[in-house]
Amino acid sequence: MPIPEQDTRPWETLADFTLRGDRSGLEEYLNQLPTAQQSLAMDRLSDDQREAVLELLDAQYAAELVARLPEFQAVDILEELEPDLAAAILSKLASNEQADLIGELDREDADAILNLMDPNDAASARRLSEYDDHIAGGLMVTEYLRYPLTWTAQKVIDDLATHADQYRHYDVQYAYLIDRAGRLKGVLRMRDLLLSSRSVSVAQYMITNPLSVRDKTTLDELFEVFDRNHFFGVPVVNDEGILVGVVHRVAVEEARADRHDSDYLKRQGIVGGEEVRSMPLFLRSRRRLAWLSVNILLNILAASVIAMYQETLQSVIALAVFLPIISDMSGCSGNQAVAVSLRELSMGLVRENEFWRVWLKEVGVGLFNGIALGILIAVVAWIWQGNAYLGLVVGLALGLNTIVAVSIGGLVPLVLKRFKIDPAIASGPLLTTVTDMCGFFLVLSIASLLLHRLV
């Protein structure tokens, strides 16, 4: 699969093919364009150009293209399209992709599109889109092999031959066998079907009591299920035991990766966990500002400690140089501890109530690194101002505050998790506020004690 040299402006090439009405040229060009470049090109086209591209493509091809784009981008595109074109594209998507997109569309847009789809498909898509994205119901597909358990092996084989084209993208390692009410009764392995005697009912060859999950099973539970089993897919049943879909291992892995990405953005202060620069300016500003305004208040709170020591600072103005250093370095040390705690929590290597263990492990690192950093900053201060006591003050303050920072950084995620607050989002601001306050207090109060040696 050769990946071509970067085209400088792939969107212009798309627009050119479209203007010329050259469908096969357009498809050929897209075939050799890496996915990331397809996203880029679609992103940079004007709304009209994008509509023209999707209109020119075969609906199946257009659907595959849309399915490869990041979800928010696909949603934006569908909302801008004429409803009939959007409906034609949506109809060609796999059921879980369909449901994801419909769930994200504005209700009005979604209704307009669904009204133009085949009524059965639309009803099914609407039902699927009501599931939350991150439970089995939201991750499952409805494209899978399902047969009444009374069928003979021959009848199943005939069905496979007849619908070969429709089943092309299915995972056909397993067929699911149901009773008359639609309840899951067994799983038939393709290999067992192969070796079966053709006139006998498939129920003879099925695995009874197969592993299944409920439609409400959460992402973490699904991950656990796949972690402990080698299956590529697991059947999903509703409260009545009726088979409603199949969730694939791959869908679970993808959903977890998406959650990680969105957690990372939240941690960096992007409220909502999603931003790309093609979003409207006002939305982007507002989401970022929501986080910044909380932070500035916390910052003012922390800095108020400095205000209480203005006289000390006035006498030893050199201290003002070290305040931001101590604030920043404590933040760095603390964030390292936060990152390790978040990781250990997510891997299950630490429990929410193991404060003592985490603290002991962190305090060792804090002591060691606090001494190293304290000595370094002390030497710098001493040399710069020629006053060993100034070195002592800032070195001692940074050393002690490093221990405080790793302790708080290590513990805050556990405490937040215990109080059911998302530790990924709240740990950072909490950490820096407390370590800043403590750091400023340490420098300035130690300096006040040794004031006669400093001036």
Instruction: Give, as ranges, the residues between 170 and 209 that touch its own copies (CB under 8 A).
Output: 171-173, 190-191, 193-195
Count residues near its own copies (CB under 8 A). Answer: 116
Residue 444: alpha-carbon gap to chain centroid: 42
Stretch that binds its own copies, among 81-89, 95-103, 238-246, 331-339 (CB under 8 A): 331-339
336 binds its own copies (CB under 8 A): yes
Q: Distance between CA atoms of 148 and 169, rounded to whole angstroms?
A: 21
Q: With binding defined as CB under 8 A, does residue 419 bind its own copies?
A: no
Contact 216, 135 (CB under 8 A): yes
Q: State the Cα angle at 13 between 7 and 15, rounded to 5°.
A: 145
Identify the three-state secondary structure at position 349. coil
Single out the residue of 19, 207, 289, 455 in contact with its own copies (rule: CB under 8 A).
289
Contact between 304 and its own copies by CB under 8 A: the answer reads yes
> Is 84 near its own copies (CB under 8 A)?
no
Distances (CA, A) of 305 to 208, 438, 440, 445: 68, 9, 6, 10
Minimum distance from CB of 371 to its own copies (Å)? 10
In degrees rounded to 5, what are phi and psi of residue 295? -65, -40
CB-neighbour burial class of residue 353 (10 A; exposed 0-12, middle 13-18, buried 19+): exposed
Q: Three-class SS of residue 236? A: strand
Q: Is 142 in the site for its own copies (CB under 8 A)?
A: no
Of the pair 111, 359, the CB lying nearest its own copies is at 359
Structure tokens at 29: 């060009």
The H-assigned helical ranges of 308-418 are 310-315, 319-347, 355-385, 388-418
Which residue in 227, 356, 386, 452 binds its own copies (CB under 8 A)? 227
Per CB under 8 A, does 5 bind its own copies? no
> x/- string (CB under 8 A) for its own copies, residues 19-38?
---------------xxxx-
**Near its own copies in 372-391, by CB under 8 A:** 372-373, 376-377, 380, 384
Structure tokens at 140: 């499952």
Structure tokens at 219: 């992402």
Determine if 435 is a binding residue for its own copies (CB under 8 A). Answer: no
Residues 6+ apart with CB under 8 A from 47: 80
Identify the residue among 238, 275, 425, 450 touching its own copies (CB under 8 A). 275
Nearer to its own copies, 376 or 449 (CB): 376
Q: Which stretch binds its own copies (CB under 8 A): 19-27, 98-106, 239-247, 289-297?
A: 289-297
- Residue 153's contacts (CB-CB under 8 Å, 6 or more residues apart) are 193, 196, 197, 198, 199, 200, 201, 202, 205
Q: Which listed residue (60, 150, 204, 314) binds its own copies by CB under 8 A?
A: 314
Percent of the chain as helix, strand, coil, to the nearest 5: 65, 10, 25
Contact with its own copies (CB under 8 A) among 303, 415, 425, 451: 303
**Distance in Å, CB of 324 to its own copies, minimum:** 5
60 forms part of the interface with its own copies (CB under 8 A): no
Per CB under 8 A, 415 contacts its own copies: no
Residue with tokens 């010329």: 20
What is the spatial distance between Cα 16 and Cα 11, in angstroms, rounded to a whole number?
Answer: 9
Q: Which is nearer to its own copies, 123 or 300 (CB)?
A: 300
Tell me the two tokens of residue 68. Answer: 């490869």
Q: Judged by CB under 8 A, does residue 96 bind its own copies?
A: no
Considering only 177-185, 200-208, 288-296, 414-422, which stretch makes contact with its own copies by CB under 8 A?
288-296
Contact status: 324 vs its own copies (CB under 8 A): yes
Residue of 58, 130, 254, 422 that binds its own copies (CB under 8 A): 254
